[in-house]
Structure formats: structure tokens, C-alpha cells
């Protein structure tokens, strides 16, 4: 009887012993979009900094694209909850769930930290005739349902223009693309009229390869102060894409604590801030507790948005 009791105690302590030694092998960070997209470009410079603060243990990015980010989400959800699979998530986790595109939701994971926020910019193809928002608005009102928008179905690139549609009384025609890279190729080639982009495309705007019509920030952005906000144009839309790290449910608390500590240190590195500036992104760090509350609020907001936009399926 005593031997069984001791064996039971030892078995119950094994996960904590493993957690104390964490990490002992490479850590995989799943990015649910193809390489070269915004999410990939944000986590690429973050991964080596996270690695540095995890005692030098390798952090490997795995791009698992497909199904509006859902393929990567499923792989992350079904991975062993041991801290060796991390998931690079953004707001699409809420929108795709409520729009019925995905059966994975944010509550299937444990939050670790939020690291960044990227403001959305309504962006036009160089082949469109508009020089500014006012010309676009006049044309859009004359041609309801004819102006095309490149978007990833039910993701942030769909919700953002849909909010503009609703607030400005417009009607767009959506063309679906899987991730940023094909969307950008489509708009650069003039295959669609509009898309959701961000300040990473500043160089292309300055080279007249793209046109920024309006930014979805509260105030004009210092990186491109000539671009008006939607709010000042009379369209009450403020929108950004927020990215963080989560892990599968059941991951031991000591492992999450180790990851959280490393995440906090990595997010404070000047090198990360410099990399984010190039990505038109603000460093926005939240610890596990703050991030958990924020995720719940964002989930509620996305459910309401999906309902308001007529996209709610759950």
C-alpha cells in the first residue's frame, strides 16, 4: 500500500519536475499564415529574442497556413500541452469563430502575452481613379456592389472594410485570398480595388504603387501624418490587429510562467521596437493576467461586430 502511495506521489510530481527543467529541447512557434505575411514578419524578429530569454533554447517558426488561419489553430490546439508548441495568434481567432469559418476559439488556449498592435489602413490599387477618400466615397456611392475588396474570409481583413461599409453606407464586392501576400499581389496588379493594409506598405505608397485612403487610428499616425483618419472623415471606425502568444489548454502553470517571463523581456528589447517600427506596428505588451482580460473583451466585441455586420453564425 505504501509503495503504491509513494508511486502515486512521484507520478503526480513528474509534470512539475519536467516544468522545472523547461525548456530542454527546441520550441515550435506556429504562425497560422504563410511566410512573408504581417504575422510572420512580426514574429520572425521576436522569435530569436524569445529564444535568448529562454536560456538560448531554439525557437523555431512553423508556418501552417490555410483555411483563414484555422489549419494552424487546429494544429496548435491539438498539440501536447507541454510548452513546446506555442501559437502566434491575432484577432482573427475571434472573427473566424463567430463567422462560422472555424471551430477553434481563443478559450481553447492559455494566454501567455500580447506583444504588438498594428493599425489598419484602407488601401487602394494604383489603377483606381481616386486621388483621395472623398473621390473614392463619391464613386462608391454611385456604384454599390461594384468596388472590389481583397480579403481573407471572416478575418480582420474582412471585418475592417465591412465596418467601413456599415459606417459609411457603402456596399463592396469581396474577393477571397488566403493571407496577406496573395492579397497584396492582387492589389498591386490591379485585380482588386481595395484591401486592408498597414504602414509597412509606406514605401510602395511613396513610390506610387499603392494609395492610402484613410487610417483607422484615433489620431493621425506620426509615420504618415498626411493620411487622414477615418474618424476625421466622418467614419467612426478605429481598428487594429493585435498579436500575442498562447499555448494549448492544460500547459503546466510553471511552464507558462517561464514563457511569460521570457516574453516580457523579449518585448522590452530595443531591437524588437526597431523591428516593429519597420512593420508599421506598435509594441503593445500585456502579461498573462492583462491579456486574459483583454482577450475576453475582444471576443465579446468581435461577437457583436459579427452580429452587426450580418456575419454571425454562432
pLDDT of residue 3 exceeding 60, the answer is: no
- Number of domains composing the chain: 2
Over the stretch 138-177, which tens digit does the pLDDT of each residue have? 999 999 999 999 998 888 999 999 999 999 999 999 999 9
pLDDT of residue 13 exceeding 50, the answer is: no
Q: Supply the angle between the helices 38-53 and 253-267 in degrees, to the nearest 10.
A: 110
Considering the domain architecture, whether residues 126 and 203 belong to the same structural domain is answered as yes
pLDDT of 140 reads 98
On whether residue 11 sits in a domain, the answer given is no
Over the stretch 37-81, which tens digit does the pLDDT of each residue have? 889 999 999 999 999 999 999 999 999 988 888 899 999 999 999
pLDDT of 34 reads 87
Considering the domain architecture, whether residues 63 and 125 belong to the same structural domain is answered as no
On whether residue 6 sits in a domain, the answer given is no
Considering the domain architecture, whether residues 105 and 150 belong to the same structural domain is answered as no
CATH number for the domain that contains residue 29:
3.40.190.150
Report how far Cα 240 is from the mean position of its chain's Cα atoms: 9
CATH number for the domain that contains residue 165:
3.40.190.10
The helix or strand, by DSSP H or E, that contains position 263, with its residue range, turns out to be helix 253-267
Instruction: Give the separation between CA 227 and CA 212, rounded to whole angstroms.
Output: 7
Considering the domain architecture, whether residues 211 and 125 belong to the same structural domain is answered as yes
pTM given for the model = 0.85
Instruction: Give the separation between CA 149 and CA 308, rounded to whole angstroms.
Output: 19
Considering the domain architecture, whether residues 279 and 263 belong to the same structural domain is answered as yes
pLDDT of 178 reads 84
Phi, psi torsion values for 216, nearest 5 degrees: -95, 40
Domain holding 296, by residue range, is: 20-118+240-308
Over the stretch 213-257, which tens digit does the pLDDT of each residue have? 999 999 999 889 999 999 999 999 999 999 999 999 999 999 999
On whether residue 227 sits in a domain, the answer given is no
Phi, psi torsion values for 28, nearest 5 degrees: -100, 130
Considering the domain architecture, whether residues 26 and 81 belong to the same structural domain is answered as yes
Amino acid at each position: 500500500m505504501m509503495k503504491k502511495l509513494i508511486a502515486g506521489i512521484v507520478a503526480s510530481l513528474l509534470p512539475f519536475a519536467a516544468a522545472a527543467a523547461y525548456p530542454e529541447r527546441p520550441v515550435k512557434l506556429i504562425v497560422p499564415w504563410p511566410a512573408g505575411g504581417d504575422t510572420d514578419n512580426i514574429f520572425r524578429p521576436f522569435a530569436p529574442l524569445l529564444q535568448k530569454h529562454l536560456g538560448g533554447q531554439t525557437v523555431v517558426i512553423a508556418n501552417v497556413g490555410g483555411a483563414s488561419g484555422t489549419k494552424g489553430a487546429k494544429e496548435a490546439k491539438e498539440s501536447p500541452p507541454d510548452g513546446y508548441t506555442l501559437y502566434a495568434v491575432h484577432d482573427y481567432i475571434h472573427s473566424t469563430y463567430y463567422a462560422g469559418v472555424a471551430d477553434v476559439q481563443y478559450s481553447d488556449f492559455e494566454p501567455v502575452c500580447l506583444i504588438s498592435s498594428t493599425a489598419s489602413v484602407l488601401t487602394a490599387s494604383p489603377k483606381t481613379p481616386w486621388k483621395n477618400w472623398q473621390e473614392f466615397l463619391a464613386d462608391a456611392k454611385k456604384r454599390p456592389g461594384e468596388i472590389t475588396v481583397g480579403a481573407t474570409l471572416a478575418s480582420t481583413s474582412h471585418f475592417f472594410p465591412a465596418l467601413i461599409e456599415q459606417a459609411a453606407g457603402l456596399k463592396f464586392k469581396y474577393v477571397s485570398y488566403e493571407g496577406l501576400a496573395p492579397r497584396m499581389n492582387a492589389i498591386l496588379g490591379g485585380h482588386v480595388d481595395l484591401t486592408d493594409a498597414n504602414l509597412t506598405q509606406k514605401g510602395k505608397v511613396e513610390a506610387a504603387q499603392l494609395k492610402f485612403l484613410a487610417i483607422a487610428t484615433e489620431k493621425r499616425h506620426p509615420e504618415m501624418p498626411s493620411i487622414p483618419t477615418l474618424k476625421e472623415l466622418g467614419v467612426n471606425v478605429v481598428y487594429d490587429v493585435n498579436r500575442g502568444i498562447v499555448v494549448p489548454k492544460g500547459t503546466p502553470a510553471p511552464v507558462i510562467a517561464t514563457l511569460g517571463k521570457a516574453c516580457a523581456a523579449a518585448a522590452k528589447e530595443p531591437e524588437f521596437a526597431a523591428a516593429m517600427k519597420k512593420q508599421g506596428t506598435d509594441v503593445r505588451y500585456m502579461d498573462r493576467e492583462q491579456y486574459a482580460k483583454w482577450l475576453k473583451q475582444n471576443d465579446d466585441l468581435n461577437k457583436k461586430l459579427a452580429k452587426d455586420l450580418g456575419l454571425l453564425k454562432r
